[in-house]
């Protein structure tokens, strides 16, 4: 499949795994039960920002990428974004713990697993080896309106500021 680009419909049949945030599993050591997130269905009725990172708890992802989205969440919401989702190749338990370790204990930002980087591979092989690459997508009611993969190690097209400038 060619790379996903602005103007494309979000692909059918895309789902991720995640641990639904609940008061019972709000502690970083609580595991929860992985649940399917049917992205193709969910994205039909929402405006979402989907951010992919190479891995939870990695230096750039934890120190720069995620904090920008946490800090700018109200600005994203003011631009009509219903949901921000972070994906990586990590399993749902690691993704959940990463969110909780960064103070996210509700569904303000969801942390999903791109199992085997299968989604990232399917949209034009947006991977780094076996890991998901660093990229951002904006999907508005099922239509991709922004799709950019980082060309290098810097946060130039997938940061919260870069995405906000395109909304």
126-165 burial: b if 16+ Cβ within 10 Å, else e:
bbeeebbbbbbbbbbeeebebbbbbeeeebebbbbebbbe
pTM exceeds cut of 0.75: yes
Domains delineated in the chain: 15-23+32-166 (3.40.30.10)
For residue 11, what are its two tokens?
């692909």
**Catalytic residue (choose from 14, 61, 97, 144):** 61
Residue 61: active-site member:
yes
Give the pLDDT band (50/70/90) at residue 1: low
Predicted confidence (pLDDT) at residue 110 exceeds the cutoff of 80: yes
| Across 34-54, average pLDDT | 97
| Across 55-81, average pLDDT | 96
């Amino acid at each position: 499949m060619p790379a996903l680009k602005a103007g494309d419909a979000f692909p059918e049949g895309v789902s991720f795994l995640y641990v639904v945030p609940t008061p019972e599993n709000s502690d970083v050591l609580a595991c929860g039960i992985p649940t399917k997130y049917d992205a193709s269905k969910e994205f039909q009725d929402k405006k979402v920002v989907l951010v992919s990172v190479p891995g939870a708890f990695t230096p750039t992802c934890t120190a720069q990428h995620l904090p920008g989205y946490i800090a700018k969440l109200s600005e994203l919401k003011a631009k009509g974004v219903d949901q921000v989702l972070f994906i990586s190749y990590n399993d749902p338990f690691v993704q959940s713990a990463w969110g909780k370790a960064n103070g996210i204990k509700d569904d303000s930002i969801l942390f999903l697993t791109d199992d085997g980087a299968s989604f990232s591979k399917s949209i034009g092989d947006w991977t780094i080896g076996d890991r998901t690459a660093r990229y951002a997508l904006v999907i508005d009611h099922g239509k991709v309106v922004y799709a950019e993969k980082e060309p290098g190690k810097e946060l130039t097209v997938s940061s919260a500021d870069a995405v906000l400038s395109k909304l």
